[in-house]
Structure 1
Amino acid sequence: MNGNWLRVSPDQLEQARADLNWAYELAMTERDGDSERWAGTDKAWNALDFLLDRLGFEIPLVLGAESFVEFPDVEPDSEEMFDFLENLEDDWGYGPPSYLTPAQVATAASQLAALTEDDLIRGVDPQELKRADVYPGPWESPDELVWAAHYLPDVRNFFAAAARDGDAVICWLD
């Protein structure tokens, strides 16, 4: 399971909101072409989400804040929800994508600008991630925290570029 981001212009975001299949094709083209408009966090997505949340980070940059899909009003782990997710037309991996608006991207970039790898993991006990069942685990040593934190410079650069260009960001797991 890997975390992914795709920078899109506001016009492309509107097109994606109207046609997620089009957005999926764009995402795969950019990812397969190793475009600077795509970035990934490999398996560290959940650890980054946990560590940023632990610091009080306001924007859920790993999983996105806005949904492309209106979910039914049912229990998250219910058979109805599994049926709903199974019937989605697109193949984004682990559920439909979400996104961050250009304003949310700018806020995230601003917060990330001052954050260092040391800030991200300072005072963190690997057992916190283990107790929280953070993917991928097993979180037995501080070296595993360093591995998760080493993605931060690329994340910071990606969001700075997106904010500079006024882009939105599509977020998904595959």
Structure 2
Amino acid sequence: MNGNWLRVSPDELERARTDLGWAYEIAMTARDDNSGRWTATDKAWNGLDFLLDRLGFEIPLVLGAESFVELPDVEPDSEEMFDFLENLEDDWGYGPPSYLTPAQVAAAASQLATLTEDDLIRGVDPQELNRAEVYPGTWEKPGELAWVAHYLPDVRSFFAASAKEGDAIICWLD
């Protein structure tokens, strides 16, 4: 399970709201071309989300704040949810994508601007992540927190560039 982000213009975001199939093709092309419009945090997505939340980040930059699809009001692991996800038009991976608006991207970029790798993991006990069942669940291994933190410079750059251009970001797990 890997975390992904795709930069889109406000116009592209509007189109994606009504045509997720089109957005999926853009996302896959950007990923296949290793375009600067796409980046990923691989399996570190949940650890990064946990650590940013722990620091009080208000913008859920890993999973997105806005939904393209209204999910049914059922248990996440229920048969009804699996049926719903299976019937989505495109296979984004683990559920439909979500997004951050240009304003949310700018706010996240501002918060990330001064955050260091050391800030991200300072004082963190790996058992906190184990107790919270943070994926991938290998936090007792030496270097796992540093592995998550090493993504921070690229995340900071990606969000800064997105904010500078006034872009939104589509977020998904695959």
TM range (shorter): over 0.9
**So what's the TM-score if we normalise by structure 1?**
0.97
CA RMSD of aligned residues (A): 0.9
The structural deviation recorded for 1:83 is: 1.3
- The residue that corresponds to 2:35 in the other structure is 35
- The residue that corresponds to 2:16 in the other structure is 16
Deviations 1:107-162 (A, max 9, x none): 00000001000000000001111111111121114511001100000000000000
The structural deviation recorded for 1:70 is: 1.0
Q: Is the 8 A contact 1:5 1:170 kept in 2?
A: yes
Within a 5 Å distance, the mapping from 1:10-159 to structure 2 comes to 10-159=10-159
Residue 45 to residue 25, structure 1, CA distance change in 2 (3 Å): same
What percent of counterpart residues are identical?
84
Counterpart AA for 1:165: E
Counterpart AA for 1:65: A
- Between the aligned partners of 1:78 and 1:134, the Cα distance in structure 2 is 21
Deviations 1:45-93 (A, max 9, x none): 0000000000010100000000000112223332222211111111101
- The residue that corresponds to 2:2 in the other structure is 2
- Between the aligned partners of 1:64 and 1:118, the Cα distance in structure 2 is 24
Runs of 4 or more above 4 Å deviation: none
Q: How many residues align?
A: 174
**So what's the TM-score if we normalise by structure 2?**
0.97
Deviations 1:89-109 (A, max 9, x none): 111011000000000000000
Residue 118 to residue 142, structure 1, CA distance change in 2 (3 Å): farther
Counterpart AA for 1:60: P
The structural deviation recorded for 1:5 is: 0.1
* Structure 1 alignment gaps of length 5 or more: none
Secondary structure of 1:171's match?
A: strand
With 67-76 and 26-35 compared, the bigger mean Cα shift is at 67-76
- Between the aligned partners of 2:10 and 2:144, the Cα distance in structure 1 is 37
Counterpart AA for 1:85: L
